[in-house]
Structure 1
Amino acid sequence: MLGDTYKIWCDYAWLPAGPAPDVEIEIADGRITTVSHGRQGIHREGLTLPGFANAHSHAFHRALRGRTHANRGSFWTWREQMYHVAGKLDPDSYYQLARATYAEMALAGITTVGEFHYLHHGPGGIRYEEPNAMGHALIRAATDAGIRITLIDSLYLTSNVDGASPEGVQLRFSDGDAETWAQRVTGLTGTIIGAAVHSVRAVPPAQMWPVAEFDGPIHAHVSEQRAENDACRALHHCSPTELLKEHGVLQEGFTAVHATHLSQTDINLLGTAYACFCPTTERDLGDGIGPAPALKTAGARLTLGSDSHAVIDFFEEARALELNERLASQARGHFSAAELLDAATAHDSLGWTDTGRIEVGQRADLVTVALDTPRTAGIDPEGILFAASPADIRQVMVDGREIVRDGEHAFIDVPYELREAICALY
């Protein structure tokens, strides 16, 4: 419908002030032009929300779902299984897997994805003829699945804090040095491009400069594991957060992903940043529960990601932010429903500042959730994040274009494409 002018009537819509009944939304050229009270236009039964922003994704991890979760072991043994999948991918197979994964995200109401991209090169680290073939495959996959992407290209040079050289499949992640990484990234086009320090394990401090100087969203994995903190302190005599701050990476608008094991000093330093929590991945890997309320109090803006895609369910990610904290603190009521929705719709951490709210001038990213399913029947619409699942989503629009219709992707057979792409890797 992009380019058309039309109106939809929502039984309920979540406006900046909260859920409201009988809302008319007029859309022109993919943007919201009016929001008013009324019952005219294409009827949307249920509750219409702004589109979700998945601030942290590793698309190829989707191939691990149901294959690693029941195993004993640790984050580090899980990582070896992840390396196995990474070693099988090329630009064509990565495109197929990512397109299906992004289409699953569309079914879950995600309209923008931040793809934290570090699988850059071919086997042994040999460059493809087009050095950004893998990155461009991801951009094309998101476009073809109907969602928006910020490609966050990750600098990855070493295999541990001590500067050990990568080996095996990790060679596919590395450009060798920061200058070579920076030159390659200039060839990425087609969407908003971000930059990342993969982690303090993967980038020596002297090589962080091109990310610190990057003009765009800047992200990093931060203190996901206690072992990361211990190694950083042993070598650099400071925490990962302090190291990133010292070398200019931690700046206003920076996104710290996971931020699980932080000191009070770290929390204070992140007060001008985004903190991206990925609760379903963090619980799957046994990472721990990060200090989300303390970060919020310090001034950090909270975002959410599905990371390894143990599930792709932003209702679950949002409510887990609150429910995990209830378990940790043995108290309720840390985040309001509106605060959880703000975290789930924070597109600005990915460089998209004109979407994530249902108001005039915003992109028409709209997700309609049924209120008559076994999960949602009889609820107060404000409780939707604590009740619904992606199975309750009926329509999804991105820039005014209908991507999900009656609970099905409008042009992709998502289960079939996921099955084909994943089974080809095993």
Structure 2
Amino acid sequence: MQSGNFHFSDILTANGWRRDVTVHVGPDGNIQELQNGYGSNAKRIRGIAVPAMPNVHSHAHQRLMVGLAERSGPGADSFWTWRELMYGFSSQLQPDDLEAVAAQLYLEMLQAGFSAVGEFQYLHHQPDGTAYANPAEMSLRCLAAASTVGLGITILPTLYAYSGFGGQAPLATQRRFITDADQFLGIVDSLSIQVKSQPLQQLGIAPHSLRAVTPALLREVLSAIPATAPVHIHVAEQLKEVSDSIAFSGLRPVEFLLREFALSDRWTVIHATHMTPAETEVLARSGAISGLCPTTEANLGDGVFPATAYLSAGGRFAIGSDSHISVSPAEDLRMLEYSQRLRDFTRNALAGGPSRSTGRNLYGLALEGGARSLNQPIGAIAQGRRCDIAVLDEDHPLLVGRSQDQAIDSWIFSGGTQLVKDMIVAGRHLLKDRRHLLEDEIAHRFRAVVERLAP
């Protein structure tokens, strides 16, 4: 799949919608020029071209358990009972298994309109907790899966040392996750060698949460990595986490994080569901990105993110599919908007102003925040950005008679994963008429893992 030049009749560029445009792509996969009209040797692609979306929060191994936690237990179900099921699945995965599962997941992301993923990867060790010969083995398998599919990836090895606030001893079920600073930095060093030679790959870190690291441990690690490396952290997802944080520190989780660290746009705060108005405003002003995962948050019963107040205060956000109960930028953006409507008894809550397209506003904000979160040169169709383009099927019944912002609204509020027809990543036409060249091979390997590990 070689890179090339592409012609579109309708395309959303960084400067707005344009018609009859050829996108010229350089050998590095970046956009060299947007030319009016048809350029020589360009491939004509029928459909509505929009920037492909970044997916900033993924736990690839959780793709295995989709649909298996929807049966009520004998006691009260919660995030914490769901977590025990997840631990059971994660204890069984071997490196080949994780690579097969991740490849299937990343293919599904591509098919849904995502062109890059932030992989928050914490299965570091063998099932008994001992290190692999290469301590970064499992993260390297995620990088390999992304390369197979052609997806961009920011690998985020997870710093996970404790089971609760204040350095509580880890649980036996967490033994695959646990590292000290030296072990963790060894993983980071191994991954840094790998990503240097891969233009679609970036490296950051993911302190799991304030439950799983102490501020002192995180400061030690931050001092040893580049100052520009992305930092992703779960915070304030669950009410129990809030009460535990207050019991330990006297502060709510977002307050605790803001007290201990000077947040900036290198930080992505995952979830941040439970905030006071004051926390919401300060987080918005910090420059950090809120990594929202609305379909996972709904599935787990987390709560509703205060998006209207956060955006009004100038906050930035991105989206991720997290546990992958749904893998669709349209569905996550729809869920985000609908959560605000249901809470506030309103409509078009996040349109950004009168007479504006809600879908276009949400999509544009998630593109901008996602590109920054992953430290990837994506998020817009513009000279110098990577040529990552999703093409919507203008012949689909949901898009008949729709164009430009109306098409984006129809995709987000009606179309879900149905409407993405073609995908281009770094100038490579990876998905053609909804098919990937390696789709059958990837599905075969994934099926073998599922059949072996199915409960």
1:287 aligns with 2:309: no
Matches within 5 A, 1:151-230: 151-175=155-179, 177-189=180-192, 190=195, 191-213=201-223, 214-215=225-226, 216-230=229-243
Name the stretch that deviates more: 273-282 or 323-332. 323-332
Alpha-carbon distance change, 223 to 394 in structure 1, aligned in 2, over 3 angstroms: same
Partner of 2:354: none
Q: 1:113, CA displacement in angstroms? A: 0.3
Output aligned runs, 1:361-380, within 5 Å.
361-380=384-403
Q: Secondary structure at the match of 1:245?
A: helix
1:347 aligns with 2:371: yes
Q: Deviations over 1:290-341 (max 9, x none)?
A: 0122222222211000000001111111222212211111112223333311
- Residues 383-392 or 300-309, more deviating: 383-392
Aligned to 2:23: 25
Residue matched to 2:416: 389
2:127 & 2:382 partners in 1: Cα distance?
Answer: 47
Structure 1 segment 7-46 matched on structure 2, within 5 A: 7-29=5-27, 30-39=29-38, 41-46=42-47
**AA of the residue aligned to 2:439:** I
Following TM superposition, by how much is the alpha carbon of 1:70 offset from its aligned partner in structure 2, in angstroms? Answer: 4.2
Which deviates the most, 86-95 or 293-302?
293-302
Q: Does the aligned pair in 2 maintain the 1:9–1:43 contact within 8 Å?
A: yes
Distance change in 2, residues 1:100/1:365 (3 Å):
same
Aligned mate of 2:439, from 391, 408, 412: 412
Between the aligned partners of 1:244 and 1:57, the Cα distance in structure 2 is: 22
Partner SS, residue 399 of structure 2: coil
In 1: Cα distance, 2:20 partner to 2:383 partner:
17
Contact 1:211 1:218 in 2 (8 A): no
Whole-Å Cα distance in 1 between the matches of residues 102 and 87 of structure 2? 17
Partner of 1:49, secondary structure, is strand
Secondary structure of 2:273 counterpart = coil
Structure 2 letter corresponding to 1:403: L
Q: How far did 1:424 drift?
A: 2.3
Distance in 2 between the 1:343 and 1:422 partners?
36
8 Å CA contact retained: 2:21, 2:35: yes
1:358 aligns with 2:381: yes
The one-letter amino acid paired with 1:54 is N
| TM-score, normalization by structure 2 | 0.88
Q: How many residues in Structure 1 have an aligned counterpart in Structure 2?
A: 422
Instruction: Report the counterpart of residue 359 of structure 2 in structure 1.
Output: 337
The answer to which of 184-193 and 145-154 deviates more is 184-193
How far does residue 111 in structure 1 lie from its aligned partner after superposition? 0.8
Measured in 2, the distance between the counterparts of 1:288 and 1:27 equals 43
2:82 to 36, 59, 78: 78
Aligned residue for 1:123? 127
- In the TM superposition, residue 251 of structure 1 has moved relative to its aligned partner by 3.4
Q: Is the 8 A contact 1:56 1:276 kept in 2?
A: yes
Asked whether the equivalents of residues 49 and 367 of structure 1 are also in contact (C-alpha less than 8 Å), the reply is yes
CA distance in 1, matches of 2:336, 2:25: 33
Paired residue secondary structure (1:295): helix
2: CA distance between counterparts of 1:221 and 1:358? 30
Return the match for 1:107 from 104, 107, 111: 111
Instruction: Tell me, in whole angstroms, the C-alpha distance in 2 between the residues paired with 1:47 and 1:311.
Output: 23
CA contact (8 A) 1:15 1:358 kept: yes
2:312 to 257, 279, 297: 297
- What CA distance in whole angstroms lies between the structure 2 residues aligned with 1:70 and 1:375? 33
| In 2, Cα distance between equivalents of 1:332 and 1:211 | 44
Counterpart of 2:187 in structure 1: which amino acid? R
Compared CA separation, residues 71 and 369, structure 1 to 2 (3 A): farther
Pick one of 253, 257, 269 that aligns with 1:240: 253
Greater shift, 113-122 or 411-420, is seen at: 411-420
Q: Does 1:88 align with 2:101?
A: no
User: Contact 1:392 / 1:407 at 8 angstroms: preserved in 2?
Assistant: no
Amino acid in the other structure paired with 2:89: V
Any idea what the Cα deviations from partners look like across 1:63-100, whole Å, max 9, x if unmatched? 11121134351111110110011001121111111111
Distance in 2 (alpha carbons) for counterparts of 1:178 and 1:330 = 48
User: In the alignment, does 2:270 pair up with 1:257?
Assistant: yes
Cα offset for 1:187? 1.9
The list of structure 1 runs, each at least 4 consecutive aligned residues, that deviate by more than 4 angstroms after superposition, is: none
* Unmatched 5+ stretches in structure 2: 196-200, 352-357
Q: Mind listing any 5+ residue stretches in structure 1 that lack a counterpart?
A: none
Separation in 2, partners of 1:249, 1:208: 13
CA distance, structure 1, for counterparts of residue 259 and residue 276 of structure 2: 16
Give the SS at the match of 1:123.
Answer: coil
Equivalent residues of 1:158, 1:201 under 8 A apart: yes
Q: SS state of the match for residue 286, structure 1?
A: coil
**Which residue identity lines up with residue 450 of structure 2 in the other structure?**
I
Distance 1:85 1:181 in 2: 23
Matched residue SS, 1:105: helix
Q: Given the superposition, is the C-alpha separation of residues 184 and 282 from structure 1 closer, same or farther in structure 2, using an over 3 Å criterion? A: same
Deviation at 1:398, TM superposition (A): 0.8
CA RMSD of aligned residues (A): 1.9
State whether residues 162 and 212 of structure 2, in contact with CA within 8 Å, keep that contact through their aligned partners in structure 1.
yes
Query: Does the CA-based 8 Å contact 2:181-2:217 persist in structure 1?
Result: yes
TM (norm. structure 1) is 0.94
Residue of structure 2 in register with 1:65 after alignment: 66
Q: Would you say the 8 A contact 2:304–2:339 is kept in 1?
A: yes
Identity %: 33
Amino acid corresponding to residue 83 of structure 2 in structure 1? R
Does the alignment pair 1:320 with 2:335? yes
1:1-12 map, 5 Å: 2=2, 6-12=4-10
